[in-house]
Copies of this chain bind each other. A is one copy, B any other.
Amino acid sequence: MTEDANSWTLDPDRALPAEPTARAVAREIYAASGALPIVSMHGHVDVDLFLDNQPFANASELLVIPDHYLVRMLVSQGMTPADLGVQTRDGTPFETDPREIWRRFCQNWKLFRGTPTRYWLEHEFAVVFGAPAPPSAQNADELYDFFLETLARDEFRPRALLDRFNVEVLATTDSALSDLAAHRKLAELDGGQRIVPTFRPDSLLQINHRSWADDVARLSEVSGIDAGDFDSFLQALRQRRDVFIAAGARATDHGHLSADTTELEPSQARRIYAAALRGEADDADAAAFAGGMLFEMARMSAEDGLVMQLHPGVLRNHNSAVRQRYGADAGFDIPVQIEFTRALQPLLNSFGMNPDFRMIAFTTDETVYSRELAPLAGAYPALRLGAPWWFLDSPEQMRRFRESAVETAGFYNTSGFVDDTRALASIPARHDLSRRVDAGFLARLVTEGRLDLAEAVETAVDLAYNLPLLAYAQRA
């Protein structure tokens, strides 16, 4: 990157391979894919942000406080989340001065060296907002003021950013209990379903979830179907899925600890459900129910055509003190080893060859790409391999994903990139990085005589644009 008094521009070749032969080819490939519209089929931006469409207040509220990648890194070096403005639930004081929070972040910019957060933030600073320089202890206040001024402009309001980013479609992630009113209103404003919901029923499928009983009660309310027994519970879930479909949903999203999909005998499911309502289900019941419900979700997807996304293998809330003080999603979710081959066998045996069914599987355990997910996705027509996700959404991991998965699954059994972010301003940075890394991988195939340049260009366009549209096209 280069930097002078008046402007800061990023290296136009950043994240492309450095070796000149490969770089020249990668540039050519990236030239075809880099500016394509963004298809963001799996993300976590709050839909109300777009409906309200208010300017972002300041740089800390936009970039620091809600970004658990960023907060956890600073915490790992001795700050507390409260020091960074994360609200506490137990009365512990937390920093409320956004300028002070911003200074703390800027002083510790070096901690992000080598991380994707660094890449994304540089892109956001330089490309999205036109900031004059990267953060440092020296320029913290100057930058803070720059953002105050910039964010107040209409062109940086949430909906304007979507246009600026060339976002063609954006999927949010929504509680199965959501009324989706915001999505409907936005569709009216947009004249079409550009911001679509995703059906996320985790808390309803996991009877050991702390809000399960409450959420089941709410499910009865919002669906108008009394979920007093297992069969009506399934009915109520179907009703919610239909509502989501009407609002433009293309997919469901499932975050379970295990990938188990063992079908439950109806009698067993009914027994466990009833026991759970009485508060008498045990851990084995919870595990069996979670697996059985993934099977049921597949059955429903084969009927209604919603694409089923599964991303198992993360142990949530690893630290109980952090959980109690700050709640969930505080940066203390840690991956565990995950198994797919046996876990998905029940589901794939029943629905894996079904043209009306589509599953997209994600992992935070990179070892399963070559061993399990690529062989499965390279055989079952129903299965697509999701993009490197969460901890794996980074240049090295994206490269290793292609190096590990493509030889067995091919390019065309992968789903295309998903940004998985709640940070609106980072969306173009993330898609851009993915396109650059893919260009680099394809360039290597070309320079090693393993692919023609024209094929590489076509593949890059497919990966960036056509494949996510295809993978998330509603089935059935």
Per-residue interface assignment for chain A, residues 68 to 97, with 1 indicating a CB less than 8 Å from any chain B CB and 0 otherwise: 000011011110000000000000000000
Q: Is A242 close to B, CB under 8 A?
A: no
Q: How many copies of this chain does one complex carry?
A: 3
**Size band of the A side of the interface?**
35 or more
Given contacts A76-B381, A77-B413, A451-B114, is CB(A337)–CB(B336) below 8 Å?
Answer: no
A349:B320 contact, CB within 8 angstroms: yes
**Does the CB pair A450–B15 fall under 8 Å?**
yes
* Contact call B21/A20, Cβ cutoff below 8 A: yes
Cβ of A445 within 8 Å of any chain B Cβ, yes or no, is yes
Provide the residues of chain B in CB contact with A15, threshold 8 Å: 448-450
B348 and A370 contact, CB distance less than 8 A = no
CB pair B18–A412 under 8 Å, yes or no, is no
Asked whether, in the complex, the Cβ of A379 is within 8 Å of the Cβ of B318, the reply is yes
Contact B391 A408 (CB under 8 A): yes
Report B-chain residues with C-beta under 8 Å of the C-beta of A73. 378, 410
Does B410 contact A111, Cβ atoms closer than 8 Å? yes
Contact B372 A397 (CB under 8 A): no
Residues of B within 8 A of A348 (CB): 318-319
A-to-B contact residues, CB < 8 Å: 1, 10-11, 13-22, 72-73, 75-78, 110-116, 118-119, 315, 318-322, 331-332, 334-337, 339, 341-342, 345, 348-349, 352-353, 355, 364-367, 370-372, 374-381, 383, 391-392, 394-397, 400, 402-404, 406-413, 444-445, 447-452, 455, 458-459
Extra contacts besides A15-B448, A19-B19 (20): CB < 8 Å: A1-B449, A1-B452, A15-B449, A20-B21, A72-B378, A76-B380, A76-B383, A76-B409, A110-B455, A318-B379, A321-B349, A322-B353, A334-B341, A334-B372, A335-B375, A336-B371, A366-B371, A391-B407, A395-B448, A400-B403
**The 3 A-B residue pairs with the shortest CB-CB distance in the complex, in nearest-first order:** A14-B449, A11-B449, A18-B447
